[in-house]
Structures are given as C-alpha cells and as structure tokens.
Structure 1
Amino acid sequence: MSNFKSEIGSLIRQARTEQGLTQKELGEKIGVGEPTVNKYESGKQNLTVETLKRVADALDMQIKITFHK
C-alpha cells in the first residue's frame, strides 16, 4: 500500500512542479499546510478521495481511476 501512496505522491509532486507551484502555494489552494503537502508527496499520509479531488482541481487536472484484473 505504501508504494501506491508513493506513486500518487510522485504524480502530485510532478504536476505541482510543472506548474511552478511551491508546496506552500498548493497547500493554500487546497486548505492544508505545507507540511501536509510534503507528507502527501512523500507518501507518508493517506489522501481521502475528497482531498485527492481538491488536489486535482487545484492543479487543473482530472482523476481517472481504472481497475484491472
């Protein structure tokens, strides 16, 4: 499970840096502090679906979830 959190965190970090945002700026957009954004990006904290949606909206991105068997 931690690998999944790390993968999500890496995607958030990549999108944030591509848009030239700091962790503090992203945090302000989604209503959390810079340390929390750092935890999301490093895979140290779970994101709820609602939080993931706020992050995606702040980064002007869409969430696409697929299940494979």
Structure 2
Amino acid sequence: MKAKNNTLTLDQFKDKNYGVTGTEKRDALEAGYADFKLGALLHEARLEKGLTQQELADKTGTTKSYISQIENNVKEVKISTLKKIVEVGLGGHVELSIKL
C-alpha cells in the first residue's frame, strides 16, 4: 500500500531500489541491517547498564576499540565473544533463533 503524499513505505523503497527479498542486492542490504542492529543493541544495552566502552572491555577481556568497532558495525563478532560480552559484561543472556 502506498503511503500518503506519494511517498513509499520502507518495504516499497527497498523493493524499488534493491529488488525483492531473495535477490542478491536485497539480501546484502538486509544482512547489513542485521549487523547494524546487533551493534546498536549492544550499544543500547551498555548505556542502560551505565557502562563506558572501556568498562565493558575491561569486564570482558577485550579492548575499548573492539567494543567500539562492534557497536559501529566495523567489526563482526563471533557468537562466543558476543555471549561473553552480553553475559559477563552486561549480565544478560543471548537468545538465538533460526527462521526458515
């Protein structure tokens, strides 16, 4: 459905500019969004806990630079490292799901 004022919804914009879901260009866009979302979630959780990047790095045995790179989607993180950051550093837990 087209939004008012001849604007496109986000899905319409993505369909028009990146192709439909399942095309290479669209899938690359969606994969990049998932990486960005993870970094943003970690950033938000760290702030909620009142921790600086340095404090989180100290708690998890990493570096401030590494935490920053993850939060800013510059560096990918292994699941084991993500688990350590979330559980040890933030006192939370990681839940993963696979959708087919």
Q: TM (normalized to structure 1)?
A: 0.91
Equivalence for 1:35: 65
Number of residue-to-residue matches in the alignment = 69
| 2:98 counterpart of 1:67 | yes
Gaps of 5+ in 2: 1-30
Larger Rg: 2
CA displacement, residues 21-60 of structure 1 (integer Å, 9 cap, x when unaligned):
0000001111111111100001110101110011111101
Distance 2:72 2:64 in 1: 12
Structure 2 counterparts to residues 15-26 of structure 1, below 5 A = 15-26=45-56
What is the root-mean-square deviation of aligned Cα atoms in Å?
A: 1.0
Q: Structure 1 runs of 4+ off > 6 angstroms?
A: none
What percentage of residue pairs aligned between the two structures are identical?
Answer: 26
Distance 1:30 1:65 in 2: 20
Q: TM (normalized to structure 2)?
A: 0.65
Higher relative contact order (CA 8 A, sep 6+): 1
